[in-house]
Protein backbone atom coordinates (compact mmCIF):
# COMPACT_ATOMS: atom_id res chain seq x y z
CA UNK A 1 0.00 0.00 0.00
CA UNK A 2 2.88 2.33 0.74
CA UNK A 3 4.39 1.47 -2.64
CA UNK A 4 1.11 2.25 -4.39
CA UNK A 5 0.91 5.57 -2.56
CA UNK A 6 4.49 6.48 -3.46
CA UNK A 7 4.32 5.26 -7.06
CA UNK A 8 3.02 8.39 -8.86
CA UNK A 9 5.70 10.72 -7.46
CA UNK A 10 8.49 8.30 -6.54
CA UNK A 11 8.42 5.28 -8.84
CA UNK A 12 11.89 4.07 -7.86
CA UNK A 13 10.95 4.01 -4.16
CA UNK A 14 7.71 2.23 -5.05
CA UNK A 15 9.63 -0.38 -7.05
CA UNK A 16 12.05 -0.95 -4.18
CA UNK A 17 9.26 -1.31 -1.63
CA UNK A 18 7.30 -3.66 -3.86
CA UNK A 19 10.34 -5.83 -4.48
CA UNK A 20 11.15 -6.00 -0.77
CA UNK A 21 7.60 -7.25 -0.23
CA UNK A 22 8.36 -10.01 -2.74
CA UNK A 23 11.41 -10.97 -0.67
CA UNK A 24 9.19 -11.32 2.40
CA UNK A 25 6.37 -13.17 0.65
CA UNK A 26 7.06 -14.40 -2.91
CA UNK A 27 3.40 -14.45 -3.96
CA UNK A 28 3.27 -10.66 -3.64
CA UNK A 29 4.91 -10.60 -7.06
CA UNK A 30 1.30 -10.59 -8.30
CA UNK A 31 0.71 -7.32 -6.45
CA UNK A 32 3.93 -5.90 -7.86
CA UNK A 33 2.80 -6.77 -11.38
CA UNK A 34 -0.67 -5.35 -10.72
CA UNK A 35 0.83 -2.07 -9.51
CA UNK A 36 3.02 -1.94 -12.62
CA UNK A 37 -0.01 -2.47 -14.85
CA UNK A 38 -1.97 0.21 -12.98
CA UNK A 39 0.88 2.69 -13.41
CA UNK A 40 1.10 1.80 -17.08
CA UNK A 41 -2.62 2.32 -17.62
CA UNK A 42 -2.68 5.63 -15.73
CA UNK A 43 0.25 7.28 -17.48
CA UNK A 44 -0.19 5.52 -20.86
CA UNK A 45 3.51 4.67 -20.94
CA UNK A 46 5.59 1.85 -19.55
CA UNK A 47 6.70 2.52 -15.92
CA UNK A 48 10.39 2.04 -16.69
CA UNK A 49 11.90 3.37 -13.44
CA UNK A 50 9.43 1.41 -11.29
CA UNK A 51 10.02 -1.78 -13.27
CA UNK A 52 13.81 -1.53 -13.33
CA UNK A 53 14.14 -0.83 -9.63
CA UNK A 54 11.73 -3.65 -8.74
CA UNK A 55 13.41 -6.10 -11.13
CA UNK A 56 16.86 -5.27 -9.76
CA UNK A 57 15.84 -5.92 -6.14
CA UNK A 58 13.90 -9.09 -7.01
CA UNK A 59 16.87 -10.43 -9.00
CA UNK A 60 19.25 -9.65 -6.13
CA UNK A 61 16.92 -11.58 -3.83
CA UNK A 62 16.69 -14.53 -6.21
CA UNK A 63 20.45 -14.63 -6.67
CA UNK A 64 21.14 -14.51 -2.94
CA UNK A 65 18.55 -17.20 -2.16
CA UNK A 66 19.86 -19.37 -4.99
CA UNK A 67 23.46 -19.04 -3.83
CA UNK A 68 22.57 -19.81 -0.19
CA UNK A 69 20.01 -22.61 -0.59
CA UNK A 70 21.01 -23.98 -3.99
CA UNK A 71 17.64 -23.25 -5.63
CA UNK A 72 15.61 -20.08 -6.16
CA UNK A 73 12.25 -21.20 -4.77
CA UNK A 74 11.31 -22.39 -1.29
CA UNK A 75 11.00 -26.13 -0.94
CA UNK A 76 8.74 -26.50 2.06
CA UNK A 77 7.32 -29.80 0.83
CA UNK A 78 10.80 -31.33 0.64
CA UNK A 79 11.56 -30.01 4.12
CA UNK A 80 8.38 -31.58 5.51
CA UNK A 81 9.20 -34.89 3.85
CA UNK A 82 12.72 -34.81 5.29
CA UNK A 83 11.32 -34.13 8.78
CA UNK A 84 8.86 -37.02 8.42
CA UNK A 85 11.70 -39.37 7.47
CA UNK A 86 13.94 -38.07 10.22
CA UNK A 87 11.41 -38.39 13.07
CA UNK A 88 8.41 -40.38 11.88
CA UNK A 89 6.76 -40.53 15.32
CA UNK A 90 6.99 -36.77 15.86
CA UNK A 91 6.31 -35.77 12.23
CA UNK A 92 3.91 -38.36 10.79
CA UNK A 93 3.15 -38.15 7.08
CA UNK A 94 0.55 -39.52 4.72
CA UNK A 95 -2.10 -41.71 6.34
CA UNK A 96 -0.09 -41.75 9.59
CA UNK A 97 -0.71 -38.02 9.90
CA UNK A 98 -4.48 -38.53 9.97
CA UNK A 99 -4.19 -41.44 12.40
CA UNK A 100 -2.17 -39.25 14.77
CA UNK A 101 -4.58 -36.32 14.36
CA UNK A 102 -7.85 -38.15 15.06
CA UNK A 103 -7.27 -38.82 18.79
CA UNK A 104 -6.51 -35.15 19.35
The band of 91, judged by pLDDT with boundaries at 50, 70 and 90, is low
pTM: 0.66
Residue 94 has φ and ψ, to the nearest 5°, of: 65, -135
- Is residue 94's pLDDT more than 70? no
Residues 6+ apart with CB under 8 A from 103: none
Q: Give residue-wise pLDDT tens across range 2-45.
A: 888 888 899 999 999 999 999 888 889 999 999 999 999 988 98
Instruction: Provide, rounded to the nearest whole percent, the portion of the chain with pLDDT above 90.
Output: 38
Residue 54: is its pLDDT beyond 90? yes
Amino acid sequence: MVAAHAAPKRPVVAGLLSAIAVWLRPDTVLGLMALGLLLWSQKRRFPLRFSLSAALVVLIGLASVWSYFGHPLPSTLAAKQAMAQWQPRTWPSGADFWKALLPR
